[in-house]
């Protein structure tokens, strides 16, 4: 958030992604049929039927051609659809329709495009999504910008707001795998076992959106707030706390970091905890539940979907801020830093 007046000539990079979003959306009009507007994973719109409409958009741009070096065209298409599916999942909704906007350099090959679209459509079909529209525009950089529409029963959308002090903080799956995968891709010289590289790279390149988990959590009715982890655990927990008006304390001991991730960190001379806290792109669901509901939530997701869920901390009063309890029991402030899509570096 900008704390001092900004000159019109200030660059948007200096302002940063979240500062820019705050500036662009300040004073945005609304309407009674807009149940949730800008600021959550999806908008929630009352379009007159029994089901509320969910709407989200997310773009994948291959500015540095990094994607093309590390992923197949199919994987790029799949990834672009998966990140949007994850936003619908994080509301507890059912994904339904996609509009696909393509940015295409004119020298791109048809074979590449065929692959991207194959991956994109396969991922859409896997989750019951129909591609209903789109747009093509010439551009210097290849990109896919998808708008995904979904549906959810009235009053069942799981928002970022709603977490209450005393709620348990839970997360699906494992953390830090995508960051580990990125590090290994950027450092091919590292001597890491092939099976570990494959698993961590897959976590980055082909994340699995937690759509059935989101649905189930919405139906259980025991979740007070939820979002998906795209910017990183600390940053996204910061978003949840900000929208809910609460603080939170994470327990380092409880974070679900796999043996593969720890092993890779060790071989790479990196800190697996850093990857888990600040890495981003995990696309797990982070949510809060009243303590009395925790056991049922964990058991239900485990039995119905075979999805591990872990309690990783607790929602605190707002004055407690965001903290991390280390293995030795000491508690220290947790910076809500993560991925800034404009600075392309860790922001404040």
Residues 141-170 that bind a copy of itself (CB under 8 A): 141, 143, 145, 147, 149, 151
User: By the 8 A CB rule, do 267 and 249 touch?
Assistant: no
Beta bridge partners of 101: 135, 145
User: By the 8 A CB rule, do 100 and 57 touch?
Assistant: no
Determine which residue in the list 12, 198, 295, 331 makes contact with a copy of itself, applying CB under 8 A: 12
The residues, any chain, with a CB within 8 Å of residue 270's CB and separated by 6 or more, are 180, 183, 264
User: By the 8 A CB rule, do 97 and 179 touch?
Assistant: no
| Subset of 277-296 contacting a copy of itself (CB under 8 A) | none
Q: Of the listed pieces 134-142, 198-206, 221-229, 320-328, which binds a copy of itself according to CB under 8 A?
A: 134-142
Q: Which is nearer to a copy of itself, 131 or 320 (CB)?
A: 131
User: By the 8 A CB rule, do 290 and 222 touch?
Assistant: yes
| Subset of 178-207 contacting a copy of itself (CB under 8 A) | none
Cα-flanking dihedrals φ and ψ of residue 283, to 5°? 55, 35
Residue 3 found at the interface with a copy of itself (CB under 8 A)? no
Q: Which is nearer to a copy of itself, 16 or 279 (CB)?
A: 16
Token pair for 163: 């977490």
Q: Of the listed pieces 127-135, 195-203, 283-291, 311-319, which binds a copy of itself according to CB under 8 A?
A: 127-135
Which helix (H) or strand (E) segment is 237 a member of? helix 233-244
Q: Of the listed pieces 50-58, 160-168, 244-252, 255-263, which binds a copy of itself according to CB under 8 A?
A: 50-58
Q: Which is nearer to a copy of itself, 60 or 255 (CB)?
A: 60
Residue 23 found at the interface with a copy of itself (CB under 8 A)? yes
Residue 110 found at the interface with a copy of itself (CB under 8 A)? yes
Residue 108 found at the interface with a copy of itself (CB under 8 A)? yes
CA atoms within 13 A on the CB side of 179: 28
């Amino acid at each position: 958030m900008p704390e001092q007046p900004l000159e019109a000539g200030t660059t948007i990079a200096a302002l940063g992604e979240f500062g820019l979003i705050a500036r662009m959306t300040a004073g945005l009009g609304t309407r009674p049929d807009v149940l949730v507007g800008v600021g959550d994973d999806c908008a929630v719109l009352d379009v007159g039927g029994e089901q509320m409409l969910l709407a989200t958009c997310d773009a994948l741009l291959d500015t540095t051609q990094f994607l093309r070096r590390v992923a197949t065209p199919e994987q790029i298409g799949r990834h672009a659809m998966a990140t949007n599916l994850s936003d619908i999942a994080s509301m507890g909704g059912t994904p339904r329709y996609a509009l696909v906007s393509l940015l295409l350099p004119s020298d791109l090959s048809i074979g590449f495009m065929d692959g991207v679209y194959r991956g994109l459509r396969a991922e859409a079909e896997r989750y019951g999504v129909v591609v209903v529209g789109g747009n093509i525009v010439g551009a210097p950089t290849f990109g896919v910008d998808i708008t995904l529409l979904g549906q959810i029963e009235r009053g069942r959308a799981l928002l970022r707001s709603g977490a209450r002090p005393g709620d348990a903080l839970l997360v699906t799956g494992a953390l830090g795998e995508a960051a580990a995968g990125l590090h290994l891709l950027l450092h091919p010289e590292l001597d890491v076992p092939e099976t570990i590289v494959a698993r961590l790279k897959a976590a980055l390149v082909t994340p699995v959106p937690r759509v059935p988990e989101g649905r189930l959590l919405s139906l259980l009715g025991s979740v007070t707030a939820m979002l998906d982890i795209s910017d990183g655990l600390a940053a996204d927990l910061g978003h949840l706390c900000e929208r809910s008006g609460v603080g939170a304390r994470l327990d380092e001991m409880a974070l679900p970091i796999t043996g593969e991730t720890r092993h890779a960190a060790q071989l790479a001379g990196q800190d697996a905890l850093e990857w888990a806290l600040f890495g981003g792109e995990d696309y797990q669901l982070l949510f809060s539940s009243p303590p009395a509901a925790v056991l049922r939530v964990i058991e239900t997701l485990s039995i119905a979907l075979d999805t591990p869920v872990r309690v990783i901390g607790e929602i605190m009063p707002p004055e407690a801020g965001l903290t991390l309890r280390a293995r030795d029991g000491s508690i220290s402030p947790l910076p809500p830093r993560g991925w800034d899509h404009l600075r392309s570096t860790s922001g404040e």
